[in-house]
Structure 1
Amino acid sequence: MNICVFCSAYSLDDRYTAPAAEFARLLGEGGHTLVWGGSDAGLMGLLADNVKAAGGKLVGVMVEMLRHKAYAGADELVWTADLAERKAELAGRADAIVVLVGGLGTLDEVTEVLELKKHGMFDKPVVVLDTEGFYDGMRTQLERMDAEGFLPKPLAELVTFADTPAEVFEQLKA
């Protein structure tokens, strides 16, 4: 499976990196391919290192302006002109999307994919690994949108949340 991961390019506390490393190990050991932002920085680099060490493949999708941060050990690097093209390429190569902790870029990526799912333009699973309750606020907001009729589909058809890396893979198999 080509698993696209949205996550931070910053170095983070162990409470976030340890679950990400475990997720990456499971991805690699499962024979899957990581499709990600292609960076060697922060959580992105840690993810790639651990997927590769566990035997998985790496497909990085990078914006040309970030060429200096490209992960040297990727099996394939795809270059895009801008962030919009990058998001389209990431989603287009994905059999599933997993969201790890991240900042504004990660939030932008996941909300765009959910908007595409809402309109039937993306039909792959989206699973958020909610490490340390990082996405509790987003989950609460999405649940409110669902309860108050702002979503044309049930929330569970758009996105699911997992508490552990193993649970992410359980949901992807379901």
Structure 2
Amino acid sequence: MNICVFCSAADLDDRYVTPARQFAELMGKSGHALVWGGSDTGLMKVMADGVQGAGGKLIGVSVEFLAHKARAGADEMLVTKDLAERKAQLLARADAVVVMVGGTGTLDEATEILELRKHGMHAKPVVLLNTAGFYDGLQEQFQRMETEGFLPVPLKDLVFFAEDGVSALAYLEEQAGVQR
């Protein structure tokens, strides 16, 4: 399975790095490919190192203004002209999406993916990996949106909130019908 992971390119605290590394290694050992923003910095690098080190494939989609940060040695690296094209290419190459900790760029990617899913533009499973409670507030906001009628489909049909990489991958594999 090609799993698109949206996450930060920033260097982060170990409470985020360690679970990311564990998830990446689990992905690689399970034979899954990482589809990611192509950066060789921060949490993106941690994910790429872990997946590749465990035998998984790397499919990067960078953008022109960040191409100088693209990872050498990826199995595939595409460079797009802008962020909109990058998001479209990431989704096109993925069978599933995992949103990890990140800043405004990650949040932008997450909300666009969920909006497209809400409107039936894709049916790929989406997981918000809630490492160290990072997305507790967002989960509460989504639940409020659902309760107050802002979501035309049930929240559970849009996104799965996972507390760790094991449950995130188990959910994705279950959705994809992967047999273990």
Instruction: State yes or no: 1:143 paired with 2:143.
Output: yes
* % identity of equivalent residues: 64
Amino acid at match of 1:170: A
Amino acid at match of 1:40: D
- Give CA deviations for 1:119-159 in whole Å, capped at 9, x if unaligned: 00011000011001000011000000011111111000000
Cα distance, 1:103 vs structure 2? 0.4
The 4+ residue runs of structure 1 with deviation greater than 4 A are: none
TM-score by length of 1: 0.99
Whole-angstrom CA distance in 1 between matches of 2:59 and 2:173: 22
Instruction: State yes or no: 1:57 paired with 2:54.
Output: no
TM-score by length of 2: 0.95
- Give CA deviations for 1:3-24 in whole Å, capped at 9, x if unaligned: 0000000000000000000000
Q: Which residue of 1 aligns with 2:107?
A: 107
Count of aligned pairs: 174
Q: Which residue of 1 aligns with 2:17?
A: 17
Give the unaligned 5+ runs of structure 2: 175-180
Give the unaligned 5+ runs of structure 1: none
Cα distance, 1:67 vs structure 2? 1.2
Whole-angstrom CA distance in 2 between matches of 1:73 and 1:127: 27
Whole-angstrom CA distance in 2 between matches of 1:67 and 1:7: 17
Q: Which residue of 2 aligns with 1:87?
A: 87
For 1:122, what is the secondary structure of its paired residue? coil
Whole-angstrom CA distance in 1 between matches of 2:146 and 2:93: 28
